[in-house]
Chains A and B, each alone.
Chain A
Amino acid sequence: MNDPAISASIDITRDVCPITFVKTKLELEELAPGEVLEVTIREGESLENVTRSCRSEGHEVLELRHVEGPIWRVLILRGMD
């Protein structure tokens, strides 16, 4: 399966709630609808909160992939305004 084209990437593994989602949201605001943001994130609360908040603001979680240890990679498709 081909990866979708990624327009921007952020690493929020060192951030805690709510800064994890705040940084993700700010990156998504910079993208056009339909573009994809790659987020490197820790499992647990961060992963759950960021994916839930992104969905509730109209974005789509395309892919959740385990990288190693507690680190995951999430691809988020930027929704419409």
Chain B
Amino acid sequence: MKFRNDQIERYARHIILPQVGGRGQRRLLDAKVFVAGAGGLGSPVILYLAAAGVGTIIVADDDEVSLSNLQRQVLHTTTRIGEAKTASAARTVADLNPDVHLIAHRTRLDASNVRALIAEADVVLDGTDNFPTRYLLNDACHVERKPLISGAIFQFEGQVAVFRHDGGADSPCYRCLFSEPPPPGAVPSCQEAGVFGAIAGIVGTIQATEALKLILDIGEVLSGRLLLIDALSMKFREIRVRRDQACALCGTSPTIHELVMLDDPQNCRREDFNG
């Protein structure tokens, strides 16, 4: 199918790139991604994927826009306080790029809906910041064989990693890296921790970059590596992550055979879930 003239102009800077070209841009337009959360990480993720022309973006979030979100959640606006984040995301994306079909699910991820939500996606991005959902998404991506791009932020720090549940020999999963959630009380609750707004932009745009590279099948993604970012010193470093033979999910004798949502030891209010 030929590009329309407006698409040639919109995607010109992509098409010029030898690694993208018209074929790559067509792949992006044909791609489907799932984004968990339209908050701090989901905002830059959704904005950059939509701007890039990723044709279908499926978003799940059950929260409403609040004033305290706007310090970092750049998808939303002051006039939309009280509106569902999914509805706000759909409006922003429609304004940004009408080529993009945003499918909004105003729902919270749980063990009963997560597989169906990610089933159609080529790539899954985690924009949540609570441990139960992170483990659930990892386990569901393993079952559905979807690549998972994980991001997390805390105060001035960020982490990004890609887990190739879609194959890729020896690629570890989130549980290989963190076999269990931290014990209750070990991590300050999201209400008391605080987060430097711009770190959400750094981590989210790295997640979006990795998603686009996976769709285009170019470069080298952060698989088997955990990227650690400290915005205060502005240092990036990475640590190797190996597949854990004893992993309860992807090891040689797995003990996890069904999707279960863990209890949330932090008991965060929903408002604070999305970074």
Contacts and interface: CB of A to CB of B under 8 A. Distances in A.
B18 interface: yes
B21 A29 contact: yes
Contacts, number: 25
B256 interface: no
Interface string A41-80: 0000000000001000100000000000000000000000
Contacts of A1: none
B228 to A, nearest CB: 37
Contacts of B15: 22, 25-26
Contacts of A23: 8
Interface residues of A, number: 10
A26 B3 contact: yes
Interface residues of B, number: 11
Nearest to B8: A22
B22 to A, nearest CB: 5
A19 interface: yes
Contact of B9 (A19, A25, A29): A19
A57 B8 CA distance: 19
Where chain A touches its partner, the secondary structure class is: helix
A26 B22 contact: yes
B16 A25 contact: yes
B108 to A, nearest CB: 43
Contact of B21 (A18, A25, A53): A25
Interface string A4-16: 0000000000000
B22 A29 contact: yes
B8 A18 contact: no
A53 B21 CA distance: 13
Contacts of B13: 18
A25 B9 CA distance: 13
Contact of B22 (A18, A19, A25, A53): A25
A26 B12 CA distance: 10
10 tightest A-B contacts by CB? A26-B22, A22-B12, A29-B22, A22-B15, A18-B12, A22-B8, A18-B16, A57-B18, A19-B12, A29-B21
Interface of A: 18-19, 21-23, 25-26, 29, 53, 57
Given A18-B13, A25-B22, A26-B8, 5 more contacts: A22-B12, A23-B8, A25-B15, A25-B21, A53-B16
10 contacts: A19-B8, A19-B12, A21-B16, A23-B8, A25-B15, A25-B16, A25-B21, A25-B22, A29-B21, A29-B22
